[in-house]
Amino acid sequence: MTTQAETSPGIEVREVLPWFRRHQWFVGVAAVGVLLRLGAMLGYRPALWFPDSYSYVVTAMRPRPDLVRPAGYSMFLRLLEPLHSFAAVTFVQHALGVATGVLVYLAVRRWKPWVGALAAAPVLLDAYQVELEHLLVSDTLFMFLITLAGWLGIGRLDRRRALAIGLVLAAATLTRTIGLPLIAVFGFFLFRYGGLRAVAIMLAGALLPVAAYAGWFYATYQRAGLVGSNGVFLYVRTMTFADCAVMRPPPDVAALCDPRPPGERPPPQFYAWDPESPLVKLPGITFTSETDALAQRFALLAIRSQPVDYAASLLTELARTFTPGRPIYPDPEVYAYYEFPARTPPPPERYVATVGATYAEQYERGPIATRLADPYATWLRAYQGVAALPGPLVLLLALAPPIAARARRGGDRWGLPWALSWTLLVVPVATAVFDYRYVLPAVPLACMAAALSLTPRHKIGT
């Protein structure tokens, strides 16, 4: 008589093979994505560092709200701190990158699996995406959370799902403040899909944690908000066009003017960080409440006085997202952080970063310098030279959904991820600066929207 133990392997094979055949396109793409991430972990140990990384570590090791960025990513680092390994952090971030690709695939798997695999390919295979996951910055965590919220939002809506969306949006907002306007986008679409009750439940889940964090921020700095840098970054944004001869600012605001014509000015980031910036030259730290309020007054006056110039500069900065060839911007130093390096990066020089490096060594309980290992590092650099999502393709993904949906008379669930992707692309350049790493979190949602716009109405659901 054949025992159950003897037959179980055959039963498992018969169950696995049909599943594999059904999802073979995605399995193949995901397998390549996993190998790329394994190469990053082997080639660049334990992680890659960005200037912001050190301040995240300081907040993780000495928990308190930060004036420039919310503490969500720092709490993520704190959660992993018992492992004393930045390699473990990058492992989790790479896992979140793969999970983001899985969410895109799940959104359309019920129709044609190869379409889902194609939609997931940019997040799984783009070399810059893999490099971003290996950087100790908040963008990978934020991207996963927003994609998760978008995936939840296109499914059949009930109270538990509405609450889950709200909680995920709260986590995203406390990771990057751009999550805040996304709550309004979800509110609009959830009202369409589930009515006022769904919106109320979502808002409760989203805003209560955000309000609690705002209370912590106020208790620390006696300032309302989640960060203390909104005015500074809006000022930075307006320095691409602000003309004090047109604005005619009062004397205190005029201290922030740059007499150089806009075409001769440095990149906008200069005005937040460089010691020669009119804002940085003011007494005290850049992000005091007084300095931030003064910067906001300058920025709002510039926008009111030169609305056409502001709109033109916004379109110019947004167009960088879709430019072929990924030209160097804002400068070679920042751009280099988004490339897999050919040699060990030097230690930080700025004071804040050196303090963060000390805390990072405590976190790691050892040295934190990136160690390169060949052939993996060389392979990844070669791969990055050919495997990047072209800017024009990002534009096509962003524009195609309404056109494709109208042509195919499909459902409307593509609208939510489509609106989210555009919000993620437009809001940073409208309120701060363009940065290549700000584009990548919008790509999974744009791909999801494009795939859903091609999907028959009855095939959509999660």
The pLDDT of residue 340 is 97
β partners of residue 45:
371
pTM, to two decimals: 0.93
**What is the pLDDT of the chain when averaged over all its residues?**
92
Is it the case that residue 124 has pLDDT exceeding 60? Answer: yes
Asked whether 420 and 150 are in contact (CB, 8 A), the reply is yes
Residue 377 burial (CB < 10 Å; 0-12/13-18/19+)?
buried
Half-sphere CA count of 213, side-chain side, radius 13 A: 27
Q: Rounded to an integer, what distance in angstroms lies between the CA atom of residue 97 and that of residue 87?
A: 15
Condensed to tens digits (0 to 9), the pLDDT of residues 293-336 reads 999 999 999 999 999 999 999 999 999 999 999 999 999 999 99
**Domain ranges (residues) in the chain:** 23-228+323-459, 230-319
- Determine the residue type at 302: A
Residue 459 burial (CB < 10 Å; 0-12/13-18/19+)?
middle
Q: Which of 6-15, 108-117, 137-146 has the highest mean pLDDT?
A: 137-146
Q: How far is CA 416 from CA 56, 169, 292, 310, 442, in A?
A: 31, 14, 34, 27, 12
DSSP reduced 3-state for 49: coil
Condensed to tens digits (0 to 9), the pLDDT of residues 188-230 reads 999 988 889 999 999 999 999 999 999 999 999 999 999 999 9
- pLDDT band for position 239 (cuts 50, 70, 90): very high
Q: Rounded to an integer, what distance in angstroms lies between the CA atom of residue 296 and that of residue 276?
A: 19
Is it the case that residue 384 has pLDDT exceeding 70? Answer: yes
